[in-house]
Structures are given as C-alpha cells and as structure tokens.
C-alpha cells in the first residue's frame, strides 16, 4: 500500500470559537463527504475533541472543509496519531 493510501487515525484537539458555532455538524458533513470515519465531541473547557480515520489526504481535505465554516474560528489545532479502530463505520457526533 502506498503512503498516500495508508489509513491512519488521528486524535485532533481544536481550540478557539469551536463551540456554539455548528462545528460538530460541519465536521460530520465534511467527514462524510471525504470518507473519513470517527467521532467529534465538545469538551468541558470550550474546546472540541475529534478522532478521525482515513488517508492523510482525506483527513486534510476534511479539515479544510471544517475551516470554511462561516462562524468557526480555529485558534489552535493539536494532533497526534493513535491506533486504528478496525471495525469502525461512519462519523458520529458525541
């Protein structure tokens, strides 16, 4: 499998104006359109946490689409690779 087709999973932490602005719904729409699986949820501190699984290209395209949301203002994005969820299907809002 080539590097560009390799499936990876990332935990992504977003801070900024990411709650109360449709972020999670935009993320689901973007993930579904890009073929990314995983989930997204609001955190107690006003940030958003996401796990996203797909190719690097799919995940990057999803992030671009999320960032185009009208009221979404991402100040910081931190991520790291995590183990794959082998039997996961779809992208879910938690």
Of 5, 9, 24, 67, the catalytic one is 24
Segment 31-50 shows an average pLDDT of 98
Based on the residue annotation, tell me whether 42 is a catalytic residue of this protein. yes
DSSP run (H or E) holding 14: strand 7-17
Domain residue spans in the chain?
Answer: 7-93
Of 9, 41, 42, 76, the catalytic one is 42
Alpha carbon separation from 65 to 15, 58, 62 (Å, rounded): 17, 11, 5
CATH class as words, domain 7-93: alpha beta
- Is the pLDDT confidence value at 5 over 90? no
* Average pLDDT of the chain, as a whole number: 95
Confidence of residue 4 (pLDDT cuts 50, 70, 90): confident
């Amino acid at each position: 499998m080539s590097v560009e087709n390799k499936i990876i999973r990332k935990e992504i932490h977003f801070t900024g104006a990411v709650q109360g602005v449709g972020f999670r719904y935009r993320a689901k729409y973007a993930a579904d359109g890009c073929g990314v699986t995983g989930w997204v949820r609001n955190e107690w501190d006003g940030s958003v946490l996401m796990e996203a699984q797909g190719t690097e290209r799919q995940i990057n395209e999803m992030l671009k689409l999320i960032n185009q949301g009208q009221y979404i203002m991402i100040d910081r994005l931190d991520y790291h690779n995590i183990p794959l969820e082998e039997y996961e299907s779809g992208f879910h809002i938690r």
